[in-house]
Amino acid sequence: MSECARVIISCCRIALHSCYQVLCCKDPPASCLEYDILCIGLTNAGKSTLLCQLLDENTNKVTPTSGFNIRAVQFEKAILNVKELGGGEGIRKYWSRYYQGSQGVIFVLDSASNEEDLEEARLELHCALQHPQLCTLPFLIFANHQDKLDARSIPEVRKFLELEPLALGKQWVLQGCSFEDQPSIHNGVTQFLELLEEEQQHSAVLHKTTMSVTAQSRK
């Protein structure tokens, strides 16, 4: 199947998902916040399996996402509407088409991958961190496969990704994890939810201030 056909099919899936939510799904509880989250990373980094872990689903038959996948992950006080984008080389050039409306980013990388793949992941992460539609959003970076013998440690991953100079002033969490260590996955998401809440509160204050200034200027 051509990349163009995959994109068209994925767009249809996104539209159908939106219609289903409107027509068939009840609104979330008033106290439950919803966030639209983008999930990206190279193929085989473990994006789909991590989502299955968060949803308590069977991971035995998980296959790499070739196009797009949308999942709603519910927590006690929030729902993450996660749009997972396939990580194949052919589909990554279309990623930016689906950035609009995102409120946070989950980037998954394979910490046990070879130097070439890790460098490619680093470049994709840098592009995302600097993209105009994502650069101000909270980031959760999962350094996956920490249980493998050749996995790089979190300090090594942090240094390799050059996060300090690039993400200076940004909100981000770097969390090591593995499929067998669910607490590490949930710990990363918990920190991410805190960043999302802080960002939402900041946006609300900024909006209120802007409205007040606008109202004063009209007098």
Query: Residue 65, annotated ligand binder?
Result: yes
Query: Residue 87, annotated ligand binder?
Result: yes
Query: Residue 43, annotated ligand binder?
Result: yes
Query: Residue 51, annotated ligand binder?
Result: no
- Asked if 54 and 115 count as a contact pair (C-beta separation under 8 A), the reply is no
CA 110/CA 126 separation, integer angstroms:
16
| 218's tokens | 């009209």
- What angle is formed at CA 54 by the lines to CA 163 and CA 128, rounded to 5 degrees? 30
Query: Residue 67, annotated ligand binder?
Result: no
Query: Residue 109, annotated ligand binder?
Result: no
Angle between helices 115-130 and 154-161 (to 10 degrees): 60
CA 80/CA 36 separation, integer angstroms:
6
Write out the H or E segment, with its range, that includes residue 207. Answer: helix 182-218
Query: Residue 42, annotated ligand binder?
Result: yes
Query: Residue 214, annotated ligand binder?
Result: no
Look at residues 139, 140, 147, 138 and name the one whose alpha carbon lies nearest to residue 177. Answer: 147
Query: Residue 126, annotated ligand binder?
Result: no
- Helices in 25-105 by DSSP H: which ranges? 47-54, 89-92
Query: Residue 101, annotated ligand binder?
Result: no
Query: Residue 117, annotated ligand binder?
Result: no
Query: Residue 129, annotated ligand binder?
Result: no
- Asked if 176 and 148 count as a contact pair (C-beta separation under 8 A), the reply is no
Look at residues 132, 55, 63, 123 and name the one whose alpha carbon lies nearest to residue 93. Answer: 123
Residues marked as binding for GTP?
41-48, 87, 144-147
Residues marked as binding?
41-48, 65, 87, 144-147
Residues marked as binding for Mg(2+)?
48, 65
